[in-house]
Structure 1
Amino acid sequence: MENQHLLITDSTLKDLKGVGPKSLENLNILNIHSIEDLVLYLPYKYEDETVINLHEAEDGAKITVQGKIYSAPVLAHFGRGKSKVSFHMMIDNVAVKIEFFNQMYVKRIAEIDKTVKVTGKWNRSKQVIQGSKITEDEHSGVQLVPQYSLKGLIKRAQFRKMMDSAFQTVTIQPFLPDNLKEKYKLWDLDQSLYELHVPSSHKHLLQARRSFAFCELLLFQLKMRMLNQLEQSGAPRSKVDYDIRKVKTFIDTLPFELTDAQKQVVNEIFREMKHEYRMNRLLQGDVGSGKTVVAAICMYALMTAGRQSALMVPTEILAEQHAESLSEIYGDSLNIALLTSSIKGKKRRLILEALERGDIDVIVGTHALISEPVQFHDLGLVITDEQHRFGVNQRKLLREKGNDANVLFMTATPIPRTLAISVFGELDVSTIKQMPKGRKPIITEWAKHEEIEIVHDKTACEIRAGRQVYVICPLIEASEHLDVKNAIEIYETYQALFGADKVGLLHGKMKTEEKDEVMNKFQNHEFDVIVSTTVVEVGVNVPNATMIVIYDAQRFGLSTLHQLRGRVGRSSYQSYCILVGNPESETGIERLQIMTQTTDGFVLSEKDLEMRGPGDFFGIKQSGLPDFKVANIVEDYRMLEVARDEASELIISGAIEQPELHALKMRLDADLSVHQLD
């Protein structure tokens, strides 16, 4: 007997009806390796094949109707290997012609006087249904047909047979506590899973989705609580004994005054570093809000305590920029080094030796920081910038370079509270909403493609004033070739307008060194304009750039548009963001309108999450956002909060250890062990 956390069964996949060696191989390709995997392989949508009255059918709609065949089927061949089967039916007292293309088997089913159900597209004016499915089933009740993502590997009917066989062989264990089922009127996992695969009505399908979503959210919140406990378990660490007098003197020597928001965040971080348990905090702030300065102050404090700090960023050019800006901030007050994969040989060896001796106070680098040879003397603070760009494993490896290192995540992508709760659970969040003094709000305008001459005039105006301009083309994922071609056309246009040697080009097929060379030339003002198919890295700092033109802006999400806009407005000069596009959808129009109305990244991130959903918000799955099968943290936000409260109660009360919650605890332990192995 096999216990697979959620169910008990005496069978394996190969014992199921319809599963032979080839189909077993195909199931594995679909990442189905056990009966539990199969039962949890949920439909991505449902086709409503409930029989309707033909008189109520909308013209052009896909419908399912039932009637009697009154003419013999006619098979016609045309073209190369193409065919059409046609016959007539009486449906709700209406004579209707039925046509099936390239489905010759229909001729065997379509017999005179037989009652059948037909699904297809209705053409009212011609009284024709272009059929896609015909069955002899005379059942006329609600019929919701599950649609599975099978990638052409397994036929739907065969998969349905496997699923039916699986449910006949398993016992799904109780998952939810009785008090929660009663309190929130939920089904347990067995009933909700069965209804998700074989829905008996729209109402039951909604109840099944609601119940399963709660199971997912409860399990996730339990996992977050338990991970938080694991983070804080073990012997209390040594507190960071920083010299507050030296830190205050350092802050006073900065060439600018901290904003109230920066002061508040610094105080929050310093208070937490005095605790006996290590800090685990997210610092989020809009583009240009001054997060790097906050990080610099924290790393300086660690230096006064005789401990080291590491700042990990996603790309080499960002690492170089951070190292350069931190060197300007620190002067000779501490030792800073840069470590990337490009630094090799003797120079790399000397840096690693100095780091291990403790001669380096602050190290800035890319993923090279987590490589095996990198050893610290006493790592006390780990900072990851744009932390959602790193996988969970990468962040964990760097943190473990120090036995009790404090952890600070930084992001310029303002994360709505909804998402912060889901991704980070009990993580403390600090927010900088206030911008430094002297910054002017960026003026954002929307221009249609036919107004591009006006955009060129504005670009010329900025260049004449001695400023620089970014020009962004969207990345067309379906075809990298088209992407480059589009960029080259725009690049050549700008070269013709502003000089061949004054316009740079970045695109996805360039090597990292080539990209860095182009960006460095732009930073050094060797180029007036840079045309890029890739998103200009968050954190890239060119204060003299005062205008960004974004072609086909409707292709980008709001958060990405806002990040791009943040490449300008980094000086006291007035800056501009021009969105070029002719969006056809209401969503595209709304997106560009919102961008022209607000520069508040937090407002935009909430709207972006609402419009695009959580799966697309970060753009990658490495963020830690769970891949829920049913739950949606935007639509199910209130349920998420309830699940969080109930998870806390289950752990605090000890109810999670009760025998009747064995399946829930087993699943949780399995998830936690995977996380620890990662």
Structure 2
Amino acid sequence: MLNEPVTTVKGVGGKFAEALALVNIYTIEDLFYYFPYRYDVFEIKPLGELIHEDKVTIEGRIIHDPSLSFFGKKKSRLTFMVETEGVAVKVVMFNRAFAKKQLNQDDVVTLTGKWDAHRLQITVSNYKVGHAEEQATIQPMYSLKGDLTNIKLKKAMSTAVRDHINDIEEIIPDTYLKAYKIPDRKHAILAMHFPKDRQLLKHARRRFTYEEFLIFQLKMQLIRKLNRESTTGNTQHYNPSSLQEFIQSFPFELTKAQTHTLNQILADMKSPYRMNRLLQGDVGSGKTAVAAICLYATITADRQGALMVPTEILAEQHYKSLSEMFGDRASIVLLTGSVKGKKRREITEAIKSHQIDIVVGTHALIQGDVIFANLGLAIVDEQHRFGVEQRRVLRDKGLQPDVLFMTATPIPRTLAITAFGDMDVSVIDEMPLGRKEIDTYWTKENTLDRVLNFIEKRVSAGEQAYVVCPLIEESDKLDIQNAVDLYNQLQVFYPSTVQVGLMHGRLSSAEKEEVMNKFAANELQVLVSTTVVEVGVNVPNATVMVIYDAERFGLSQLHQLRGRVGRSDKQSYCILIADPKGEVGKERMKIMTETNNGFELSEQDLKLRGPGDFFGKKQSGLPVFKVADMVHDYKALETARVDAQEIIESNKLVEDQQYQELYKLLENDSYMKSKLD
């Protein structure tokens, strides 16, 4: 059987088993599912199609006898020229002195090695005298550790396939195999390890991509279903007419996207199940208005609401804007780490006795002394900044409150499906009327005077500007502009009529608040800052955002920063000062100047950075797939999600015999158990 130790494979002894354990191969099944990380295809392509620094195979005729030179102890270099397609290509072979006797003028040779397109040179790793074989061979290459070699691993794989391939059981029902024209598990494993041709390998990879996505999506959908069913009796009977009056009191009309997402959230609140929903909306798309309406709905249902945000500045801002929106319709308090002693005790007592309707705060909301009388709705803003444990504690504060997570980081659909597969997702993909697109420019530091003069021009028109840089103080390691230096420079550069402020993470909460209040009141016209202004800060009069060393930020962060301006009907500008050295950095700047659409940017960012970097490796919670790639295989991910939803909703896992193997696999899965505990 496949769960037997790998030592039951003929030829795998104790020492070899130790080497296999380094790559987590302990059973025969582990061996079968240890797939190659790449395949070398020794196929001859025209010179014009060869990619610089790729491993390639060429065939040619030797123009002259090879020249051999020695350097150092036992080190040699063999060089000669071959003619192929009427072009002379230089051939270099290291430490192959013996080859001089085998290679002669006018011999036809097949050479494999690293291609240098600039020098028309190949550095050879394999060669043979004679023409290439008709059928290009595909060589699986495995990730290795310790004494493990490709040859040893392939030999063990070959023996395991010979003796145990028929023990492999199919887990995907036949209907899906036929519908998607994918091979069964047994033949797919054979093709992954011993591919006869590219076509068979392609179909085997397609099969395992779908299998991995389907299993993961089944886990997500099953967890979602079980979580929903375990939280019945959570209906919030809010007052629709009071809610309509509240919406009509706004000085603006909701966009279609806001109305659509609001209806989805209110339907969840009305349902007997606990809401677990993610609300995505680009910077300035109006998530706060939607959150306010939902909080009001929970008040009319005689429950309490909580809004948790990552920073004190943001908490204070939300508190002010909600207080203005609600007026005397609700009692709202602000609870952050700065609120201490008697004042904190009074607030927590008022929350406990339901004298408070809405609590706005930072993670101080989840401290042990905060006890809600009847928490109906918990909203977590910029949720990817909070740890899973913090979110769980907040959920557990009330009697199964509805939970709404909000983010202004536009998350690509592929990541939303994967990272938040156990949640419902709503998207506000429309901007409020009257908003002008922000003009974005990319320039280098040698144009700084022009940029500063442009800021002065906008300030003289009564507007304001942010200047953002990555570090607070000078660093020996990084030659990048820092906030303190820049602040001093600008104070010298601008006349006394232009007031410059400084904002960074090392200031106390009171100092930060003072700076922000002065900027909001236009007592400061230019604010030099680190990225603390990134999330949620709202100063409609600010129309210029200058970002120093912009190549040091990811696209999503640049977009968040850009979103601090363009918050009124005035034309706004974002100026990126950057001198990126690599192609990715240049591409990032180019994309920023071409689009204001956060979702488009997030898709591009995902392609440039990869999924692990999007949320940060530790916080991402993203699964590691062996074959599947979320970015490249997004269509398969979407297909697997739809299939998984249908399987779970129709209860096929339990009721249909065809799904028995899939059900067993999920039942014994450690991830499922940890999620459901």
User: Which band: TM-score by shorter chain?
Assistant: 0.7 to 0.9
Question: Which 5+ residue runs of structure 1 have no aligned equivalent?
Answer: 2-6
Structure 1 distance, partners of 2:181, 2:526, is: 61
> Cα deviation per residue 1:302-344 (whole Å; 9 max; x = unaligned)?
1232212222223333233223332333345433334445555
Deviation at 1:301, TM superposition (A): 2.3
- Given candidates 29, 33, 41, the residue that maps to 1:48 is 41
2:626 corresponding residue in structure 1 = 629
- Given candidates 75, 100, 103, the residue that maps to 1:83 is 75
Question: Residues 167-566 of structure 1: matches in 2 within 5 Å?
Answer: 171-234=167-230, 236-254=232-250, 258-259=254-255, 261-341=257-337, 343=339, 347-371=343-367, 374-415=370-411, 417=413, 419-425=415-421, 427-436=423-432, 439-473=435-469, 481-482=477-478, 490=486, 493-498=489-494, 503=500, 511=506, 513=507, 517-518=511-512, 520-525=514-519, 528-532=525-529, 534=531, 536-551=533-548, 553=550, 556-566=553-563
Q: Name the stretch that deviates more: 616-625 or 178-187.
A: 616-625
Q: Name the stretch that deviates more: 111-120 or 253-262.
A: 111-120
Structure 1 distance, partners of 2:142, 2:113, is: 20
* Aligned residues of 1:283 and 1:430 also touching (Cα < 8 A): yes
* Helix, strand or coil at the partner of 2:3: strand
Structure 2 distance, partners of 1:193, 1:504, is: 63
1:8 corresponding residue in structure 2 = 3
Q: 1:615 to 1:672 in 2, by over 3 A?
A: closer
Q: 1:581 to 1:241 in 2, by over 3 A?
A: same
> Cα deviation per residue 1:483-530 (whole Å; 9 max; x = unaligned)?
6556666555434423899555667xx54x558845751442365434
* Helix, strand or coil at the partner of 1:656: helix
Q: Name the stretch that deviates more: 650-659 or 13-22.
A: 13-22
Q: Name the stretch that deviates more: 663-672 or 378-387.
A: 663-672
Deviation at 1:443, TM superposition (A): 3.0
> Cα deviation per residue 1:133-188 (whole Å; 9 max; x = unaligned)?
57999994433344555588966556656766766776433222122212221123
Q: What TM-score does the superposition give when structure 2 sets the normalisation length?
A: 0.79
Q: 1:649 to 1:468 in 2, by over 3 A?
A: closer
Structure 2 distance, partners of 1:55, 1:324, is: 64
Structure 2 distance, partners of 1:363, 1:305, is: 16
Deviation at 1:26, TM superposition (A): 4.2
One-letter amino acid of the counterpart of residue 642, structure 1 = T
Deviation at 1:71, TM superposition (A): 8.4
> Cα deviation per residue 1:111-142 (whole Å; 9 max; x = unaligned)?
74899975324579999743345799999443
Question: Residues 69-148 of structure 1: matches in 2 within 5 Å?
Answer: 76-78=70-72, 83-86=75-78, 99-101=92-94, 106=96, 112=102, 119-121=112-114, 129-132=122-125, 140=133, 141-148=135-142
2:665 corresponding residue in structure 1 = 667
Structure 1 distance, partners of 2:198, 2:342, is: 69
Taking only aligned residues, the RMSD between alpha carbons, in angstroms, comes to 4.8
Q: 1:100 to 1:279 in 2, by over 3 A?
A: same
* Aligned residues of 2:19 and 2:145 also touching (Cα < 8 A): no
* Helix, strand or coil at the partner of 1:277: coil
* Aligned residues of 1:444 and 1:595 also touching (Cα < 8 A): yes
* Helix, strand or coil at the partner of 1:130: strand
Structure 2 distance, partners of 1:323, 1:13, is: 66
* Aligned residues of 2:281 and 2:409 also touching (Cα < 8 A): yes
Structure 2 distance, partners of 1:252, 1:308, is: 22
Structure 1 distance, partners of 2:146, 2:177, is: 38
> Cα deviation per residue 1:402-446 (whole Å; 9 max; x = unaligned)?
333212222223445555444444754444345445644433334
> Cα deviation per residue 1:321-370 (whole Å; 9 max; x = unaligned)?
22333233334543333444555555555544443443432223334444
* Aligned residues of 1:284 and 1:411 also touching (Cα < 8 A): yes
Structure 2 distance, partners of 1:254, 1:645, is: 38
* Aligned residues of 2:103 and 2:129 also touching (Cα < 8 A): no
One-letter amino acid of the counterpart of residue 189, structure 1 = R
One-letter amino acid of the counterpart of residue 409, structure 1 = F
Q: 1:215 to 1:254 in 2, by over 3 A?
A: same
Q: What TM-score does the superposition give when structure 1 sets the normalisation length?
A: 0.79
* Helix, strand or coil at the partner of 2:70: strand
Deviation at 1:390, TM superposition (A): 3.4
Q: 1:450 to 1:196 in 2, by over 3 A?
A: farther
* Helix, strand or coil at the partner of 2:478: helix
Structure 2 distance, partners of 1:98, 1:261, is: 62
* Aligned residues of 2:502 and 2:515 also touching (Cα < 8 A): no
* Helix, strand or coil at the partner of 1:200: coil
* Helix, strand or coil at the partner of 2:238: coil
Structure 1 distance, partners of 2:510, 2:44, is: 62
Structure 2 distance, partners of 1:384, 1:37, is: 40
Deviation at 1:567, TM superposition (A): 0.5
Deviation at 1:57, TM superposition (A): 7.5
* Aligned residues of 1:319 and 1:365 also touching (Cα < 8 A): yes
* Helix, strand or coil at the partner of 2:574: strand
* Helix, strand or coil at the partner of 1:46: strand
Identity %: 48
Q: 1:672 to 1:401 in 2, by over 3 A?
A: farther
> Cα deviation per residue 1:359-403 (whole Å; 9 max; x = unaligned)?
432223334444555443222112121223334444334223333
Structure 1 distance, partners of 2:158, 2:204, is: 18
* Aligned residues of 2:7 and 2:17 also touching (Cα < 8 A): no
* Helix, strand or coil at the partner of 1:538: coil
2:636 corresponding residue in structure 1 = 639
Answer yes or no: is 1:578 the counterpart of 2:571.
Answer: no
Structure 2 distance, partners of 1:72, 1:260, is: 74
